[in-house]
Amino acid sequence: MKAVRNWQEGFRWDETELLAYKSDAAHFENITRQLLFNAPHGLSTQLRYFEISPGGFSTLEKHAHPHAVVVLRGTGRVLINSEIHDLAPFDLVTVAPWAWHQFRAEDTSTFGFLCLVNIQRDQPVLPSEDDLAKLRRNSLTSSFIKL
Ligand code: MN
């Protein structure tokens, strides 16, 4: 890998492939992934750039591994457990282990963010019927979640 890969218009980077968000069937809409750093030179983390088109959303999930997120583009919202937060460029989001989380773009905004993860990490868990019942008991999270 080159020491420098330049940023390109449209939030692409040199020599960096535009990938599907996930290869499994977990529910999501209108979201792409670019793997900016894949544990280079023995670093134990990956840095990904996710971009959600207007109205799209990431999978509602939880897992043991944390996320450290930096918003780069547009506006959106994140659900973390029972809280919903508005997000704009350069806001920072920490997703703690086993916190439910889901990112959404606003209907009129392309929403992009960096997400740092350990290269060795567990698989996401999707909500059970019981988990969904709990999330739906709260009117805020009930109206936010997309499945
Ligand atoms: Mn996650």
Tell me the per-residue pLDDT of 71-99, one tens digit each, with 9 for 90 and over.
Answer: 999 999 999 999 999 999 999 999 999 99
For residue 76, report the distance from its CA to the centre of ligand 1, in Å.
16
**What is the DSSP secondary-structure string of 10-21?**
TTEETT---EES
* CA 58 to each of CA 15, 20, 40, 144: distance values in angstroms, whole numbers, following the listed order: 25, 12, 26, 12
**Mean pLDDT, the chain, as a whole number?**
95
120 pLDDT more than 80:
yes
Query: Band of the pLDDT at 3, cuts 50, 70, 90?
Result: very high
Of the candidates 60, 71, 115, 135, the residue annotated as catalytic is 115
pLDDT at 21 (0 to 100): 85
pLDDT at 20 (0 to 100): 87
- With a CB cutoff of 8 Å and minimum separation 6, the contacts of 112 are 11, 49, 50, 51, 52, 71, 72, 73, 74
For residue 95, report the distance from its CA to the centre of ligand 1, in Å.
8
115 catalytic residue (yes or no): yes
pLDDT at 28 (0 to 100): 79
pLDDT at 24 (0 to 100): 65
Tell me the per-residue pLDDT of 8-67, one tens digit each, with 9 for 90 and over.
Answer: 999 999 999 999 887 666 777 889 999 999 999 999 999 999 999 999 999 999 999 999
